[in-house]
Amino acid sequence: MHLIIATVILMDYEELGLKIGLEIHQQLNTDEKLFCPCPCELTDKKPDYKVLRNLRPTQSELGKIDRAAFEESRRKLQFIYEAYKDETCLVELDEEPPHPLNREALKLSLIIASLLNMNVVDEFHTMRKQVIDGSNTGGFQRTGLVATAGYMDTEYGRVSIENLCLEEDAARRIGQKKGKVVFRLDRLGIPLVEITTDPSMKHPQQVKEVAYQIGQVLRSTKVKRGLGTIRQDLNISIRDGARVELKGVQDLDLMPNMVENEVKRQINLVGIMKELQSRNANVVDEIYDVGELLKDTESKIISKAILEGGSVLAIKLEGFSGLIGREVQPGRRFGTELAGYAKKMGVSGLFHTDELPAYGVTQQEVDAVSKFLKLDENDAFILVADEGEKARNALLEVLRRAKTAIKEVPEETRKATDDANSEYLRPLPTASRMYVETDIPTAKISRAYLKRIQENLPELPDEKQARIIQEYSLSEDLAHQLVRRNRAAEFEEIMGSSGLDSTTVASTMAYTLKELKRDGKAISKLTVDCLKETFNLVEEGKITKEAVQEVLVGVCDGKSSPEDAARDLNLIMLSEEEVESVIEGIISSNSEMIEERGMGAMGALMGKAMAKLKGKADGKLVNKLLRNKLQNK
């Protein structure tokens, strides 16, 4: 425990040689997918049909099978793809070669690259990046390098943007069915940009800042918004550790914690490594069958495996005792790391001596296994109970990981978890995953075309906010909301043709629409033209400002135009004569009160009049008319 507390307090990132890099994946909001004309929308519809496929690793361009690809293949997974007759086509199913590159997506990626001060390549080559976890039907993701060597200035200094790639999104993992992973093809092929910084960030807070700023740049262009449309990965290493990629960091606020926890993990793994080396630790390269020793066990997992004809297998780790239970991240032990590797082979977990006796395994059984394996007091064993080949493969993985633990911190791809920890996913891929996509012609990017794009770059969100505050005398809050909700352009368009005060228009755009959306109203009916018409009604004195929201609700609910809605909802303002006659009516039916109180009846009568005229007459006018009538009585 001491070790952990000490590291938390003493973490000096510079001393540790912390290096952080950031990778952001952002879906583009194009009309079509990157290599086929299907829509870029996810669907919850029941799939029209399902297709069963296998993937096998192949030679890559350099004739080497990639390490990560090889490991995936050993799991021998089969995949089920959910497909649609209308929403997906043969391209996603790998039943048809890709169509030529989507030019809109390429253009968007050039805009983003330019906003990030990057150098755009002369000729774009589409590559195949081998991914044989089934998330791509072809067994590779199509991707290409768009730009390099850009930068972004932050309050922590300048950060280099290394690469920007345009690639296709992967299929959506839906679940697992009889050992086969099920993917849906709706997401496969949606264009993404992948933005990678160099690993020069040195402070956990800086990553968050950079992620935020890149997010701002992305939001100024035609990108998708909402959950799952942007994904962040972190690359983290310390000097004595190794490069680790944390995949799927959702929450920007969690990023600094994530970095801290990974640094802790690497420090603790280095600690364990040194301890193992000083103990002369050794991993015995053999898998023992200990089923006979545990045949009467009360452990449910073990007895179930035996009952189903599986095996109980063990390995011996010399000099590992006490270290397997050591914590490496809050709530996660070195044993959890080993289990992560075992789980990749399909077993549900493992038992290790540092946690036994437990889970129904008795001390006598531990002793029996220890005796059988000739365990020393410094030694540990690990047990896996499952179907024979699965258990063996799982332990082979654990052996590999345990051997590495004596030598170094392994380079890994890990999955970020919600508690800012991470779990093992696969080894870091090597460069040999890439080979050229032969079905797609290369795309030249002419400097003239690039120049046109760079002369018409969109305004960044911060710039836009500052400008509309100035130009329309908006409050900072309203301006911020308009920019954040991507309503600024519409706001400006409406202001161009409306004489109404900017605050009324802005607050309608920023807040009223949000409320209507929250209430489940069909706000897609509220086009810019429809909003313009509504504001015109206010300007022409046909409705009051207060009636705007009700009119908009009316339009959402199916009334054809704002004016129709106002009429149907009885919100059209009355003419002065009509108001006068209403007031006369009130006066005559309250003549007794007026006799008694004279001008003193003003307050009560005003109340009655407004109850009757609310939303149909301006309060000032009612007040004026009523006062006149009473005075002249």
Partner 1 sequence: MSYRGASKQFLDSQNVSIGDKIRITKKDVFYEGMVLDRAEDADDEHVVLKMASGYNMGVNITDSRIELLEKGEKPEIELPPVDVERDNHKKDISIISTGGTVASIIDYKTGAVHPAFTADDLLRATPELLEHANVRGEAILNILSENMKPEYWVKTARSIADEINNGAYGVVVAHGTDTMHYTSAALSFIMDTPVPVVLTGAQRSSDRPSSDAFWNLMGSIAAAKSDVAEVTVCMHAEEDDPACYLHRGTKVRKMHTSRRDTFRSINTEPIARIQNGNLKLNKNMDYKKRDYKRREESEVVLHDDLESKVALVKSYPGISAEILDLYVDRGYRGIVIEGTGLGHCPDYLIPAVSRATDSGIPVVMASQCLYGKVNMNVYSTGRELLSAGVISALDMLPETAYVKLVWTLGQTDNNEEVKKIMQTNLKGEIESRSSKKFFLI
Q: How many residues interact with partner 1 (rule CB under 8 A)? A: 51
Q: Cβ 20 to partner 1, closest distance in Å?
A: 18
Nearer to partner 1, 33 or 401 (CB): 33
Residue from 24, 106, 132, 258 touching partner 1 (CB under 8 A): that is 132
Q: Cβ 56 to partner 1, closest distance in Å?
A: 6
Q: Cβ 53 to partner 1, closest distance in Å?
A: 5
Q: Please state whether 63 falls in left (phi above 0), alpha (psi between -120 and 50) or beta.
A: left
- Is residue 527 close enough to count as binding partner 1 by CB under 8 A? no
Nearer to partner 1, 83 or 617 (CB): 83
Residue from 127, 166, 495, 626 touching partner 1 (CB under 8 A): that is 127
Nearer to partner 1, 163 or 229 (CB): 163
Q: Which two tokens stand for residue 407?
A: 């030598």
Residue from 48, 95, 285, 463 touching partner 1 (CB under 8 A): that is 95
Nearer to partner 1, 53 or 343 (CB): 53
Rounded distance, CA 329 to CA 272, Å?
13
Which window, 31-39, 87-95, 478-486, 602-610, contacts partner 1 (CB under 8 A)? Answer: 87-95
Q: With beta carbons less than 8 A apart as the criterion, state whether 362 and 370 touch.
A: no
Q: With beta carbons less than 8 A apart as the criterion, state whether 266 and 405 touch.
A: no
Q: Please state whether 121 falls in left (phi above 0), alpha (psi between -120 and 50) or beta.
A: beta
The DSSP letter of residue 280 is T
CA angle 454, 459, 460 (to 5 degrees): 110
- Is residue 436 close enough to count as binding partner 1 by CB under 8 A? yes
Q: How many CB atoms lie within 10 A of CB 558?
A: 9
Q: How many CB atoms lie within 10 A of CB 408?
A: 13
Nearer to partner 1, 95 or 539 (CB): 95
Q: Cβ 165 to partner 1, closest distance in Å?
A: 7
Which window, 8-16, 95-103, 402-410, 595-603, contacts partner 1 (CB under 8 A)? Answer: 95-103
Q: Which two tokens stand for residue 116?
A: 């990030």
Q: With beta carbons less than 8 A apart as the criterion, state whether 352 and 324 touch.
A: yes
- Is residue 448 close enough to count as binding partner 1 by CB under 8 A? no
Nearer to partner 1, 69 or 244 (CB): 69
- Is residue 389 close enough to count as binding partner 1 by CB under 8 A? no
Which window, 407-415, 425-433, 549-557, 622-630, contacts partner 1 (CB under 8 A)? Answer: 425-433
* One character per residue 487-526, x = contact with partner 1 (rule: CB under 8 A): ----------------------------------------
Rounded distance, CA 472 to CA 195, Å?
35
Which window, 136-144, 209-217, 491-499, 577-585, contacts partner 1 (CB under 8 A)? Answer: 136-144
Residue from 434, 488, 565, 609 touching partner 1 (CB under 8 A): that is 434
* One character per residue 106-125, x = contact with partner 1 (rule: CB under 8 A): -------------x-xxxxx
Rounded distance, CA 11 to CA 202, Å?
12
Q: Cβ 193 to partner 1, closest distance in Å?
A: 14
Q: Which two tokens stand for residue 624?
A: 């004026």
- Is residue 78 close enough to count as binding partner 1 by CB under 8 A? yes
Q: How many CB atoms lie within 10 A of CB 9?
A: 6
Site for partner 1, residues 142 to 181, rule: CB under 8 A:
143-145, 148-149, 163, 165
Rounded distance, CA 526 to CA 518, Å?
15
Q: Cβ 259 to partner 1, closest distance in Å?
A: 23
Nearer to partner 1, 450 or 610 (CB): 450
Element (H, E) at 363: helix 363-372
Nearer to partner 1, 54 or 277 (CB): 54
Q: Cβ 113 to partner 1, closest distance in Å?
A: 12
Nearer to partner 1, 300 or 444 (CB): 444
Cis peptide before 357, with omega less than 30 degrees from 0?
Answer: yes
Nearer to partner 1, 145 or 553 (CB): 145
Hey, which bits of 338-473 come out as E strands?
351-352, 380-386, 412-416, 422-427, 434-436, 443-444
Nearer to partner 1, 194 or 260 (CB): 194
Site for partner 1, residues 9 to 68, rule: CB under 8 A:
51-59, 61-63
Q: How many CB atoms lie within 10 A of CB 148?
A: 17
Nearer to partner 1, 358 or 436 (CB): 436
Q: Cβ 135 to partner 1, closest distance in Å?
A: 12
Over its C-alpha atoms, the chain yields an Rg (Å, rounded) of 33
Nearer to partner 1, 150 or 319 (CB): 150
Nearer to partner 1, 59 or 280 (CB): 59
Which window, 418-426, 432-440, 491-499, 604-612, contacts partner 1 (CB under 8 A)? Answer: 432-440
- Is residue 86 close enough to count as binding partner 1 by CB under 8 A? no
Residue from 31, 86, 96, 578 touching partner 1 (CB under 8 A): that is 96
Rounded distance, CA 166 to CA 160, Å?
18
Nearer to partner 1, 150 or 204 (CB): 150
Nearer to partner 1, 81 or 351 (CB): 81
Q: With beta carbons less than 8 A apart as the criterion, state whether 426 and 72 touch.
A: yes
Q: With beta carbons less than 8 A apart as the criterion, state whether 572 and 542 touch.
A: yes
Q: With beta carbons less than 8 A apart as the criterion, state whether 258 and 249 touch.
A: yes
Q: Cβ 213 to partner 1, closest distance in Å?
A: 22
Q: Which of 180, 145, 176 is nearest to 161 (CA)?
A: 145
Rounded distance, CA 115 to CA 108, Å?
11
Cβ contacts of 405-410, under 8 Å, gap ≥ 24: 405/269, 405/272, 405/273, 405/276, 405/334, 406/273, 406/276, 406/277, 406/281, 406/282, 406/283, 407/273, 408/242, 408/273, 409/240, 409/241, 409/242, 409/244, 409/266, 409/269, 409/270, 409/273, 410/242
Length of the chain: 633
- Is residue 139 close enough to count as binding partner 1 by CB under 8 A? yes
> Which residues are near partner 1 by CB under 8 A?
51-59, 61-63, 69, 78, 90, 93-97, 119, 121-125, 127-130, 132, 137-140, 143-145, 148-149, 163, 165, 431-436, 438, 442, 444
